[in-house]
């Protein structure tokens, strides 16, 4: 075990209506839990589900003591990402990133696109939520509780591989730690015939064989039915993708490897940069003498942007981390001019001219 996901952290205690009930402090209990876990295994992680407005999140890290949750799911940025995708506008994500509170040095954001529940949009306004519904859950059956979507990302984006990879490039580059829900690595879909939030909790699709290779049991014995149609095992499976260098799974493996080589994203301080284009998000992360830069185009239309990247690395050289194409950008005097395809994305490292980095 690497740790525990702690469910609904702000609501661990409910003593209302109990005569003479003790007034329990959830933060005191969380601090005790952290102490208990850390004494038994020093590298264990407590990952908290705390879906609250940004100004309330720092308390659940333990505020200045940093002695409660090690990590919190980044609900504000996740929800802003879907609003940005619906509008093809990077502004909501930029605002969510800059609106996050500072966190203790040993704490971390857990960034995610999807989890095992409905895709909650409760931090958005009613008008913003309706925009996302109309873009990605146009049918009432695709929605849940009036605030969430019970679909996975690939069907929401119409199977558009460019857009799907844009979203996961953003996920892997956000300040913090990326978290994947099973099946995201191959582009699984949901089964809307399954009730409620269980629609995304379908059997993992390992092969194109019986029940997707999940089990040899009779289908009636499966906990939930396998997805059918264009996102079912005949079209989407691990076996089909693992030897295909152009598949989503192979792309994910390369992105995970590059992300692990880019510690600046996980450990560094970050800054959102002004690209001059509302559709293009750029942010820079700095850590121990080097910087990484990520640029993402939320629009289906190609973009050309030119902006300053004032990294702490003086007279730095620019290394492209994802592409071998060098003719689409120029770097001079800390100014980057870059051509981006529709839904295009790029990662760069800025390093001192005399410092060698991993290729």
Nearest CA-CA partner of 97 in 306, 283, 291: 283
Task: Return the pLDDT at 152.
Answer: 98
Of residues 23 and 8, the one with the higher pLDDT is 8
- Joined tokens for residue 76: 């504000």
Q: Are 10 and 50 in contact (CB under 8 A)?
A: yes
Residue 267 has a pLDDT of 94
- Name 179's bridge partners: 112
pLDDT over threshold 70, residue 219: yes
pLDDT for residue 168: 98
Least confident window among 4-18, 39-53, 142-156, 298-312: 4-18
- The pLDDT tens digits of the residues spanning 240-275 come to 999 999 999 999 999 999 999 999 999 999 999 999
Fold (CATH) for 264-351: Immunoglobulin-like (2.60.40)
Task: Write the pLDDT tens digit of every residue in 98-127.
Answer: 999 999 999 999 999 999 999 999 999 999
Q: Measure CA 349 to chain center.
A: 21
User: Could you tell me the CATH superfamily of domain 74-260?
Assistant: Glycosidases (3.20.20.80)
| Stretch 150-157: mean pLDDT | 98
pLDDT at 357 over 70: no
- DSSP assignments along 213-276, one per residue: GS-SS-GGGSSSPPP-GGGSTTTS-HHHHTT-TTSHHHHHHHHHHHHHT-HHHHHSEEEEE--S
Residue 135 burial (CB count, 10 A): 16
Please report the pLDDT score of residue 358 as a whole number: 62
In the predicted model, what is the mean pLDDT of residues 23-44? 91
Note whether 74-260 and 264-351 share their fold.
no
Handedness of CA 285, 72, 127, 194 (dihedral sign): positive
pLDDT of the residue at 323: 83
State which H helix or E strand residue 348 sits in.
Answer: strand 345-351
Q: What's the confidence (pLDDT) of residue 23? A: 74
State yes or no: is 246 an active-site residue.
no
Strand order in the sheet with 290-297: 269-273, 280-287, 290-297, 345-351, 317-320
pLDDT of residue 354: 75
CA proximity to 277, closest of 238, 306, 309: 306
* Set 7, 32, 310, 337: catalytic member: 7
Nearest CA to 108 out of 147, 64, 61 is that of 61
pLDDT in tens, 66-80: 999 999 999 999 999
Output Rg (C-alpha) for the chain, integer angstroms.
22
Please tell me the predicted confidence (pLDDT) of residue 12. Answer: 85
Can you give the residue ranges of every domain in the chain?
A: 74-260, 264-351
How much is the mean pLDDT over the chain? 94
**253 assigned to active site:** no
Give the sign of the dihedral formed by CA 213, CA 216, CA 220, CA 223.
negative
CA 332 distance to own-chain centroid: 32
> What does the pLDDT read at residue 314?
77
Mean pLDDT in residue range 177-181: 97
Determine contact, residues 348/290, Cβ cutoff 8 Å.
Answer: no
Lowest mean pLDDT among 100-104, 236-240, 353-357: 353-357
pLDDT of 359 above 70: no
In the block, residue with structure tokens 């396998």:
226
Q: Which of 32, 43, 49, 274 is catalytic?
A: 49
d(CA 159, CA 38): 43
Write down the pLDDT at residue 100: 97
Mean pLDDT of 3-19: 86
**pTM score:** 0.94
Q: How far apart are CA 60 and CA 122, in angstroms?
A: 19
Report the pLDDT averaged over residues 288-300: 95
């Amino acid at each position: 075990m690497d740790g525990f996901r702690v469910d609904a952290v702000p609501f661990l205690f409910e003593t209302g209506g109990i005569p003479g009930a003790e007034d329990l402090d959830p933060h005191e209990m969380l601090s005790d839990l952290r102490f208990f876990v850390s004494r038994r295994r020093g590298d264990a992680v407590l990952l908290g589900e705390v879906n609250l407005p940004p100004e309330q999140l720092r308390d659940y890290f333990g505020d200045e003591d940093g002695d409660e949750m090690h990590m919190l799911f980044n609900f504000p940025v996740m929800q802003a990402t879907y609003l940005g995708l619906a509008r093809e506008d990077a502004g909501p994500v930029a605002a969510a990133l800059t609106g996050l509170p500072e966190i203790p040095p040993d704490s971390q954001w857990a960034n995610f696109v999807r989890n095992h529940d409905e895709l909650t949009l409760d931090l958005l306004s009613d008008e913003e939520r309706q925009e996302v519904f109309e873009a990605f859950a146009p049918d009432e059956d695709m929605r849940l509780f009036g605030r969430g979507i019970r679909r996975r990302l690939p069907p929401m984006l119409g199977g558009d591989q460019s857009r799907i990879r844009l979203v996961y490039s953003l996920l892997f580059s956000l300040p913090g730690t990326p978290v994947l829900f099973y099946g995201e690595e191959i582009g699984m879909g949901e089964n809307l015939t399954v009730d409620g939030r269980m629609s995304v909790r379908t059997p993992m699709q390992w092969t194109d064989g019986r029940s997707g290779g999940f089990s040899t049991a009779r289908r009636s014995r499966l906990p939930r039915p396998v997805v059918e149609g264009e996102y079912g095992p005949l079209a989407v499976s691990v076996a089909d993708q693992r030897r295909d260098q152009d598949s989503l799974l192979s792309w994910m493996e390369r992105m995970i490897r590059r992300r692990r080589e880019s510690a600046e994203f996980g450990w560094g301080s970050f800054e959102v940069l002004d690209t001059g284009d509302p559709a293009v998000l750029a942010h820079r992360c700095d850590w121990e003498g080097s910087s990484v830069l990520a640029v993402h185009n939320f629009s289906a239309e190609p973009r050309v942007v030119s902006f300053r990247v004032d990294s702490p690395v003086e007279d730095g050289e620019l290394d492209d981390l994802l592409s071998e194409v060098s003719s689409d950008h120029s770097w001079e005097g800390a100014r980057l001019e870059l051509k981006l395809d529709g839904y295009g994305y790029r990662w760069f490292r800025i390093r001192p001219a005399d410092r060698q980095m991993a290729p």
